[in-house]
Amino acid sequence: MNKTKALGAAACALLGAPAIATAADAKWDIDTAALYYAESGRVSLFEPVVSANRNWDERSLGAKLTLDTLTGPTPNGATPSSTPRTVTGPSGSTSYTTQPGKIPLDDTFKDTRVALALDYSAPLFDDWKAAYGLNVSTEYDYRSLGGSLRVQRDFFEHNTTLALGGSFAADTVDPVGGAPDPLSVKSNSGGDDDGHGGSSKSKSTFDLLAGVTQVLDPKSLLRVNLIYSHASGYLTDPYKILSVVGSDGEPLRYVYEKRPGTRTKTGVYAEYMRALGTDTLRASYRFQTDDWGIDSHTVELDYRWRFSAANYLEPQVRYYRQTAADFYHVALYDGQETQVQDASADYRLGGMDTWTGGLQFGHTFQGGSDLTLRLSYYVETPDGKGVPAAAADGLSKFGKLVPDTKAVMATVGYRFSL
């Protein structure tokens, strides 16, 4: 008995997988979506996405176009000061001033990215199938080109699927004003006299995946993936800085961050899905560790409640925890910048706990098109570590040096066929 068929409708609905068509009735499935993300008093993102996919005779061809627009204040990595501080941008043509006691935010930040991804999958032989991918993206200071290959084979009347995949990306970083010298002192003029070099930097990333999907019974399946990733080259953020502070917590100077030249990540991902009548439950867990010292755990739970033939509601909750990178510092103590090999105050590399809660509504029209609306709320709480002990008392007068991050996310999507 092929148990996969019993889960087909639920799995396709939850995972967004289109059904296989023959050459005679193959159509283009068009997905359009727009995401709006806004942090409280900080950066906001608007991301429209359009994708097209055509399935026929166990083959598929797809294309996806993404546009990201980021604007709004973002932390530059520095700590507060008791006096106003003006920071000049890397080109020397922009600047922003931080008021006493406030977290320094770069309100000149803006970025736009355009990305295109193409994929094609087809049978190889017997029960083997291959998928090929190509992706390219560009923004004003960053370019990326990558490719991927994934093969999979079904066993035991398609109740077990083994997948193996790999991808490679080559990126070019061309920072405004040139890449700064790591841990060099930032002056307040910007441009080439600020320790910047004119040459571009590059990095490469290689990813591997091995996974198995197993149908457990007519109503449930389990998926487990093992993940490996290795990145090398320029992994530093050229726009992030650190404060070098005295015992009173006041910044004496600023230096540019420096991250290691390689990063290796390994992880495991497990997902369980079960059909409950017309409803669907999905639970997943991911563990990831890397040689930067960051360990992370992610738990996610979704429940799709189909309260009528054409409508469903899907509450979602996600919890994420990570430890800090070995070289994460909220600030450096005077002279410490000459003793450390790597250092960054980027809060995304610090220890944190995050919660995301959301609700999605879906409606299927009589013609077969689908509308989805989702609203989510995100809260990120730093663990408060990374403060230099010699300046902890002095810095305490500024309160929480890495405040909580709160954000709202809204997504609207529409799917139809041509």
Residue ranges covered by each domain of the chain: 4-417
Structure tokens at 164: 């193996």
What pLDDT band is residue 93 in, cutting at 50, 70 and 90? Answer: low
| pLDDT in the model for residue 159 | 94
How much is the pLDDT for 133? 98
Query: What proportion of the chain, given as a percentage, has pLDDT over 90?
Result: 82
14 pLDDT higher than 50: no
**Residue 211: what are its φ and ψ, rounded to 5°?**
-145, 160
Global pTM reads 0.90
Question: Which pairs count as long-range contacts for 367-372, CB under 8 Å and 24+ apart, including other chains?
Answer: 367/416, 368/416, 368/417, 369/414, 369/415, 369/416, 369/417, 370/413, 370/414, 370/415, 370/416, 371/412, 371/413, 371/414, 372/33, 372/411, 372/412, 372/413, 372/414, 372/415
Please classify residue 100 by burial: count the beta carbons closer than 10 Å to its beta carbon, then call 0-12 exposed, 13-18 middle and 19+ buried. exposed
Considering the chain, what is the average pLDDT of its residues?
A: 91
Q: What's the rounded Cα separation, in Å, for the pair 48 and 3?
A: 37
What pLDDT is attached to residue 3? 43
Q: Using an 8 Å Cβ cutoff, are 70 and 111 in contact?
A: yes
Q: What is the pLDDT of residue 7?
A: 45
Q: Which string of DSSP letters, residue by residue, matches 99-139?
A: -TTSPPEETT-EEEEEEEEEEEEEE-STTEEEEEEEEEEEE
pLDDT one-digit tens code per residue, 96-150: 889 999 999 988 888 999 999 999 999 998 889 999 999 999 999 999 999 999 9
pLDDT in tens, 320-364: 999 999 999 999 999 999 999 999 999 999 999 999 999 999 999
Residue 189 burial (CB count, 10 A): 10
Question: What are the tens digits of pLDDT across the range 196-215?
Answer: 566 789 999 999 999 999 99
The superfamily in CATH containing domain 4-417 is: monomeric porin ompg (2.40.160.40)
Measured torsion, CA atoms of residues 186, 344, 177, 92, in degrees rounded to the nearest 10: -40
Q: Name the least confident of 183-197, 208-222, 248-262.
A: 183-197
Selection from 415, 413, 54, 391 nearest residue 250 by Cα: 391
Confidence of residue 8 (pLDDT cuts 50, 70, 90): very low
Give the chain's length.
Answer: 418
Confidence (pLDDT) at 127: 82
Given this model, what pLDDT does residue 107 score? 85
Q: 3-class SS at 224?
A: strand
What per-residue confidence (pLDDT) applies to 19? Answer: 45
